[in-house]
Amino acid sequence: MKKLNPFYLVVFMFLFSCGKEIKKEKQQNPTANIESNVAPVVKKETPLIATYDYNSLAPLLNKKGDKTYIVNFWATWCKPCVDELPAFEKINENFKDKNVEVLLVSLDFPNQVESQLLPFIKERNIKSEVVLFDDPNQNVWINKIDSTWTGALPATIIYTKDKRAFYEQSFDYDLLLKELQTFIK
Amino acid sequence: MRVLKTVLVLAVFALATAFTINTTKKGYEVGDVVEDFSLKNIDGKNVSLKDFKKAKGVILVFTCNHCPYSKMYEERIIALDKKYKDLGYPVVAINPNDPIASPGDDFESMKKRAKEKGFTFPYLFDKGQTVYPKFGATRTPHVFILNKIKKKDMVVSYIGAIDNNARDASAVSEEYVADAIDTLLAGKKLTTTKTKAIGCSIKVQ
């Protein structure tokens, strides 16, 4: 056993050095990040608000950039969602220049976009990006977004390219900040 | 020896993890026997599962007044009750929300809503929120189909959504609850026992 050790050491060193080099390369190539932020081709742009089905939304839930991404599923009709929105807005305000991206995925009903969602965004002066998610096939996409999600709103995903957590719960600012800090290196 | 030790440590760890997951399980799973409850109906009388002596089971729906998803399903819940009550599977609705945390979901508003919409089924108030956690209900609407076995035990046979299109009843292509009851009535085993849908979280203080 002992005789093999130097060999393992060499293998480890080789792997380790490789990893380092890849990391370096990524840091030196900022365009890699920009590319991953490009909107998907399938995205449907309406004059009112960007609307997604599950297939077009999925890339926004799986970005590969170097940021920490916070995705909040909400709706104007969901009281606890509306109550916790200021926490997400404050995180967006305080961390948008610190490599954190907030996306608010609205599950408002398409026929209430003009009467409810848009006035809400305007009145509350929502600064985070808001998109509309309209896909009736809930029994399929809820599990795809997270197998532990029972379907209750609000729900939140926090992820980086190598770490991910799903929360079927409400947040206040302190709790959201605490969770976010476990993702920020 | 060292390898064996590692394997043992890993095995213990795996067992401990598995145990942790088991103990944190929330609410009934399909196949579990349900503990009876006694909750106040909008007519002032208490309702228990044992009251449904002649029934083959119960379509238990956690629902409420305020939630738009609950409202979208009101007509469909009434239709389920009208169709399946006489076949042995009546609807029993329970409002699980705390009325202070969820304005509009108090007992008086429940009576009013049931009258306005013409509910044909009991609409019970989970006062003190003691029943919904036992079921592991998390949202409204959230359906639990209970099937009676040995003429007494109510067993959870299905947990989930009413159908696969909340917003548009005319676009429904899978009627989960109706299909499940039809299957149970035919004496067959359910193939779909769990589905998911978006709903309002159950409100607690």
pLDDT digit string, tens, across residues B173-184:
999 999 999 999
Q: Which of A142, A168, A141 has the alpha carbon at shortest distance from A157?
A: A168
pLDDT at B150: 87
pLDDT at A22: 38
Q: Give the ipTM.
A: 0.83
Q: Which range, of A25-39, A49-63, A135-149, B106-120, averages the lowest pLDDT?
A: A25-39
pLDDT at A44: 47
pLDDT at A16: 45
Nearest-Å Rg of the Cα atoms of chain B is: 19
Q: Tell whether the model's pLDDT for residue B122 goes beyond 60.
A: yes
As a whole number, the mean pLDDT across chain B is 91
Cα four-point dihedral sign A59, A60, A65, A70:
negative
Model confidence, pTM: 0.81
Q: B81 CA to chain A: closest CA distance, Å?
A: 23
Q: A73 CA to chain B: closest CA distance, Å?
A: 11
Cα four-point dihedral sign B161, A172, A83, B101:
positive
Query: In whole angstroms, how far apart are CA A53 and each of A46, A74, A114, A138, A151?
Result: 13, 15, 19, 11, 16
Q: Show the CA angle centred on residue A107, arms to residues A104 and A111, nearest 5°.
A: 125
Residues of A in contact with B174 (CB under 8 A): 139
Nearest-Å Rg of the Cα atoms of chain A is: 20
pLDDT tens digit sequence for A138-155: 999 999 999 999 999 999
pLDDT at B151: 84
What ranges do the domains of chain A cover? Answer: 2-34, 40-181
Name the CATH code of domain A40-181 (choices 3.40.30.10, 3.40.50.620, 3.40.50.300, 1.10.20.10): 3.40.30.10
Q: Tell whether the model's pLDDT for residue A136 goes beyond 50.
A: yes
Q: Is the peptide bond before B141 cis (omega within 30 degrees of 0)?
A: yes
pLDDT at A172: 97
Of residues B60 and A185, more confidence is placed in: B60
**Could you tell me how many CB contacts below 8 A there are between chain A and chain B?**
62
pLDDT at B14: 55
- Residue A114 is classified by DSSP as I
Do the Cβ atoms of A136 and B168 come within 8 Å?
Answer: yes
CB A92 within 8 A of CB A180: no
Do the Cβ atoms of A109 and B165 come within 8 Å?
Answer: no
HSE on the CB side for A141, CA within 13 Å?
A: 19
- A147 contact B CB<8A: no
pLDDT at A2: 45
Phi and psi for A7 in degrees, rounded to 5? -65, -45
pLDDT tens digit sequence for A57-111: 999 999 999 999 999 999 999 999 999 999 999 999 999 999 999 999 999 999 9
pLDDT at B64: 98
pLDDT at A48: 84
Q: B163 CA to chain A: closest CA distance, Å?
A: 9
Of residues B14 and A174, more confidence is placed in: A174
Query: How many helices (H) and strands (E) would you count in chain A?
Result: 7, 8
Which helix (H) or strand (E) segment is A27 a member of? helix A5-28
- A29 contact B CB<8A: no
pLDDT at B5: 65
Contacts 24+ apart (CB under 8 A), B176-180: B176/B143, B177/B59, B177/B80, B177/B143, B177/B145, B178/B80, B178/B83, B178/B84, B180/B145
Query: In whole angstroms, how far apart are CA A46 and each of A49, A113, A122, B161?
Result: 6, 11, 17, 30
CATH topology for B26-201 is: Glutaredoxin (3.40.30)
Q: Tell whether the model's pLDDT for residue A119 goes beyond 70.
A: yes
Per-residue pLDDT band at B10 (split at 50, 70, 90): low
Q: Tell whether the model's pLDDT for residue A35 goes beyond 90.
A: no
- A69 contact B CB<8A: no
As a whole number, the mean pLDDT across chain A is 83
**Residue A165: strand pairing partners:** A158
State the Cα–Cα distance between residues B15 and A177, nearest whole angstrom: 33
Residue found under tokens 């957590």? A165
CB A70 within 8 A of CB A102: yes
Nearest to A151 among B165, B168, B196 (CB): B196
Residues in B whose CB is inside 8 Å of some CB of A read 68, 102, 138-139, 142, 160-161, 164-168, 171, 174, 195-203
Please report, as a single letter, which amino acid is at residue B120: T
pLDDT tens digit sequence for B39-81: 999 999 999 999 999 999 999 999 999 999 999 999 999 999 9
